[in-house]
A and B are shown apart, each in its own frame.
Chain A
Amino acid sequence: MTQLIDFYRAAMKQAILVQFQYRAANYFYMIGMIAEPVIYLAVWSVVAAAQGGSVGGYNAGALAAYYIVWTLVRNMNIVFTPYGWEQRIRSGELSGLLLRPLHPLHYDIAFFAGWKVVVIVLWLPIAAALAWLFQPTLAPTAIEIAVFAVAIWGAFLIRMMFLWLLGLISFWTTRVAAIYELFFAFELFLSGRIAPLALFPDWVQTLADWLPFRWTFGFPIEALIGQLSLAGLLGGLAMQAFWIGVGLGLLAVVWRSAIRRYTAVGG
């Protein structure tokens, strides 16, 4: 266990140093990503204004807060892409990963977790600029900040594992793009990415409760902007723990049969 912690500490430190060198590239990427929430924010602000100031319980300030926090949560949601598995398998890169002493998942989690530290630091000035432009109403309590700080890492872990699971399909077929796009389309609506889940019909909200998506996206945002009661905050963390467990269980099963299908020459 201490060995594993030492490994994570070293690997994350390495990723932080590497990614901090590429701050320009990281910034470029983050700025390209800001367009999406700004579009949603513009649409829903117009709707809110037309509805007498608020829509689904969100007024202009709350919408601005939602989509500014969105930018950080979206960044925490970026993990190893399922499209990357084709390359890992085809190039034989996976052979090298398999020879290492730890499960390859550890290397991916540690690398991306280190990268996230850099992303959070780089995000702060962007958040300040967005706050100046869109005037959010945001007054989190200490417990909301604490839950948010934990929840963004829970979100990171859940999405990491589910996109890993999705990527493992590449061991059976390379025609994966349509499957991935379908998954991302479901996620877009059921996570709270396109709009706060409160704006959806009740049955969609109920469905979202039973799927992992909202716990990786909507939940951390709602936690920080003050949409949740204490029970909601703690219940959300419990749901995150539950989905981390489900992810680990599924991965253990699927990984074993996926890896049996793998053969490579060289790599």
Chain B
Amino acid sequence: MDVARIIATFARIGILNELQYRANFFFQVLESAIGLATALIGLGLVFRHTTVLAGWTPPELLVVMGIYGVMIGIVQAVIQPNMLRLAQDVLEGKLDYALTKPVDAQLLISIREWQVWRFTNAIAGLLVIGWALLWMQASVRLEQIIAFGAAVLCGVIAIYSFWLILATTSFWVIQIESLINLFEGLFAAGRWPVSIYPSWLRALLTFLVPVAFAVTVPAEALTNRLTGSTLALAAGVALGLFVIARLFFRWGLSRYSGASA
């Protein structure tokens, strides 16, 4: 209960902070629109040359793209800013301020930043998903929506854990620019279903970088491809990554000695 209240408080403060800069909203919408147009043109280019891509039809690939948008929106609004701040705080010795608070350190460093305007990407993604479902004239059943929700939740946990592991490396080496570059580069693979990649790469994108579970599995839920065992595997991987990330963060923290903040 306490955890929920702390998160809510930080979210409220973060949102109030961002609401001061309302003009940013319009520029963010503009940027989201450019990003969306780019993705749609790319998809159009592929379907100029083929009618089906590795078994996925155009509207089904739109679903994948929409979920990618939702995920990247969540990542850029909450996960990435917090993780970059962690790395920055370690660099500057400011992490002390977070550690001296009477709350779990991992919780606190994960909820301090809220770049709410970035959620426009997530909303654009939802619109794309809606458009794709209309196009397919699919009647989505309730259990599909529940499975979709569960898959998205597992995906968010998996990405969060992956980012935390990346950011925790800052206790040893400071590579803030490279962290973003590495994450965004690898995560961009989620724009397409992982089944299009060669098998060695697919394995990498499933278990090393959780792209498959973050994007492809939720898309499978909405396109009648998801099996119970895949969803269970997604939950297992999310949980496993979370535990690993937490242990790794603790280990990193034990190496931290803020000199002067």
Query: Chain A interface (Cβ within 8 Å of chain B)?
Result: 25, 28-29, 31-36, 38-39, 42-43, 46-47, 50-51, 55-56, 175, 177-178, 181-182, 185, 188-189, 194-195, 199-201
Q: A43-B196, A199-B48 are in contact. List 8 more A-B contacts (CB 8 A).
A: A32-B185, A35-B185, A35-B186, A39-B192, A178-B27, A178-B31, A185-B38, A194-B45
Say yes or no: A55 contacts B189, CB within 8 Å.
no
**Which segment of B173-181, B219-227, B250-258 sits at the interface?**
B173-181
Q: Does B134 contact A (CB under 8 A)?
A: no
Going nearest first, the 10 A-B pairs with the smallest beta carbon separation are A35-B185, A32-B182, A32-B181, A32-B185, A28-B178, A178-B30, A185-B38, A47-B50, A46-B196, A42-B197
Report if A31-B182 is in contact (Cβ < 8 Å); known contacts: A46-B54, A50-B50, A181-B35: yes
Q: In the bound complex, what is the Cα–Cα distance between A83 and B185 (angstroms)?
A: 19
- Candidates A36, A42, A43; contact of B201 at CB < 8 Å: A42
B49 at the interface (CB under 8 A from A): yes
Interface residues of B (CB under 8 A from A): 27, 30-31, 34-35, 37-38, 41-42, 45-46, 48-50, 52-54, 175, 177-178, 181-186, 188-189, 191-192, 196-198, 201
Asked if A25 and B182 make an inter-chain contact with CB atoms under 8 angstroms apart, the answer reads: no
| B163 CB → nearest A CB, Å | 14
Contact (A188, B38) CB under 8 Å given A33-B181, A46-B53, A199-B45: yes
Interface centre among B52, B53, B181, B188 (most CB of A within 10 A): B181
B188 contact set on A, CB distance < 8 A: 35-36, 39
Which of B37, B46, B48, B175 lies in contact with A185, CB distance below 8 A?
B37
Please report the C-alpha to C-alpha distance between residue A178 and residue B192 in the assembled complex, in whole angstroms: 25
Asked if B27 and A25 make an inter-chain contact with CB atoms under 8 angstroms apart, the answer reads no
Decide: A28 and B31 in contact? CB cutoff 8 A.
no
**Would you call A194 and B42 a contact (CB within 8 A)?**
yes
Given A25-B175, A25-B178, A33-B185, CB of A43 within 8 Å of CB of B192: yes
Q: Which residues of B contact A42 (CB under 8 A)?
A: 192, 196-198, 201
Whether A181 contacts B196 in the complex (CB less than 8 A), given A29-B181, A31-B182, A50-B52, comes out as no
> Is there contact, CB below 8 Å, between A181 and B191?
no
**A56 interface neighbour in B34, B42, B49, Cβ under 8 Å:** B49
Q: Which residues of A contact B31 (CB under 8 A)?
A: 177-178, 181
Which residues of chain B come closer than 8 Å to A195, judged between CB atoms?
45
With A and B bound together, what is the CA distance between A25 and B188 in angstroms?
A: 21
List residues of chain A with CB within 8 A of the CB of B198.
42
A181 to B36, CA, bound (A): 12
* Residue of A with least CB distance to B181: A32
A29 touches B177 (CB 8 A): yes
Output the least CB separation between B184 and chain A (Å): 8
Q: Is the CB of B49 within 8 A of A39?
A: no
User: Are B49's CB and A55's CB within 8 A?
Assistant: yes
Asked if B34 contacts A182 (CB within 8 A), the reply is yes
Q: Which residue of A lies closest to B192 (CB)?
A: A43
Closest beta carbon of chain B to A165's beta carbon, Å: 20
B109 to chain A, nearest CB (A): 23
Query: What separation, in Å, do the CA atoms of A32 and B31 have in the docked complex?
Result: 23
Q: Hey, which chain A residues are within 8 Å of B42, CB to CB?
A: 194
Contact residues in A for B192 (Cβ distance below 8 Å):
39, 42-43
A239 to chain B, nearest CB (A): 24
Question: What is the bound-complex CA distance between A39 and B194, given in angstroms?
Answer: 10
What are 20 pairs between A and B in contact, CB < 8 Å?
Answer: A28-B175, A28-B182, A32-B181, A32-B183, A36-B185, A39-B188, A39-B191, A42-B192, A46-B54, A46-B196, A47-B49, A55-B50, A175-B27, A178-B30, A181-B35, A188-B38, A189-B41, A199-B45, A199-B48, A201-B48
